A = this chain, B = another copy of it.
């Protein structure tokens, strides 16, 4: 066939919300190029491997999350979606490498990051990384920018914010996700009404918790909705 063979890789933008902070998982590169610089986790697609399979495998390597539904768990699967593909001829000094970027949204991980083969992996606040275009290796700043914009937009018209929450969560915990990702405060009372009245956004578990302090709050699971009508608004 008449084509240039290229290296095919995937890069992962793994986002979470921890203690009200919107964070991304970065690794410190142990080998050249860009040795000792921060980068998104990623790697090459193996022979015969599907793109999403590569992404899930790397997600598991970095976070220990398999994306499989655990027995007894309600929500289960980790949200993973393709964002875009980056293929500038000079984006990797080693040669022609095209990278398919994936966005993963994970809840606050109970266990620390384990099983990573990177020199160091850590959660870093998204706003800090976005503010410094030179912090990341390769074109990863561009990739992160695109992925974060996608995530912020999707919170408006999809129930994706629940992907950041544990299996059972309170409305104010969900609101905390919106506030962290968007960086804006929301009215707790109108937010509560809007979420609970949008059909299939969340479903009550019948249980309550006082882990957030104050009056006990109802616990909810993710609902079955895939899009929100009307959308949540950012103001």
A residues in contact (CB < 8 Å) with B: 1-9, 44-51, 82, 84-85, 87-89, 94-96, 98, 100
> In angstroms, how far is the closest chain B Cβ from the Cβ of A71?
30
Q: Is B1 in contact with A94, judged by CB distance below 8 angstroms?
A: yes
Q: Pick the residue among B1, B8, B50, B82 that contacts A3 (CB under 8 A).
A: B8
Q: Is B5 in contact with A87, judged by CB distance below 8 angstroms?
A: no
Number of copies: 2
> In angstroms, how far is the closest chain B Cβ from the Cβ of A112?
28
Q: Is B45 in contact with A88, judged by CB distance below 8 angstroms?
A: no
Q: Pick the residue among B89, B95, B96, B98 that contacts A98 (CB under 8 A).
A: B98
Q: Is B7 in contact with A5, judged by CB distance below 8 angstroms?
A: yes
Across the interface, which residues of B come within 8 angstroms of A47, CB to CB? 4, 96
| Among A3, A9, A46, A82, residue most surrounded by chain B Cβ atoms (within 10 Å) | A3
A98 to B47, CA, bound (A): 12
Across the interface, which residues of B come within 8 angstroms of A96, CB to CB? 47-48
Q: Name which residue of chain B comes closest to A44, CB basis.
A: B3
> In angstroms, how far is the closest chain B Cβ from the Cβ of A63?
22
Q: Is A88 in contact with B7, judged by CB distance below 8 angstroms?
A: no
Across the interface, which residues of B come within 8 angstroms of A98, CB to CB? 8, 51, 98
Q: Is A100 in contact with B88, judged by CB distance below 8 angstroms?
A: no
For the complex of A and B, list the 7 residue pairs with the smallest distance between their C-beta atoms, beginning with the closest: A5-B5, A3-B44, A4-B47, A51-B87, A85-B85, A3-B7, A48-B89
Q: Name which residue of chain B comes closest to A98, CB basis.
A: B8
Q: Pick the residue among B4, B44, B50, B82 that contacts A8 (CB under 8 A).
A: B4
> In angstroms, how far is the closest chain B Cβ from the Cβ of A100?
5
Q: Is A6 in contact with B4, judged by CB distance below 8 angstroms?
A: no
**29 A-B residue pairs with CB within 8 Å:** A1-B7, A1-B44, A1-B94, A2-B44, A3-B7, A3-B8, A3-B44, A4-B8, A4-B46, A4-B48, A5-B6, A5-B7, A6-B6, A6-B8, A6-B45, A8-B87, A8-B98, A45-B87, A47-B96, A48-B96, A49-B89, A51-B85, A51-B87, A82-B84, A82-B85, A84-B85, A85-B85, A85-B100, A98-B98
Q: Is B1 in contact with A87, judged by CB distance below 8 angstroms?
A: no
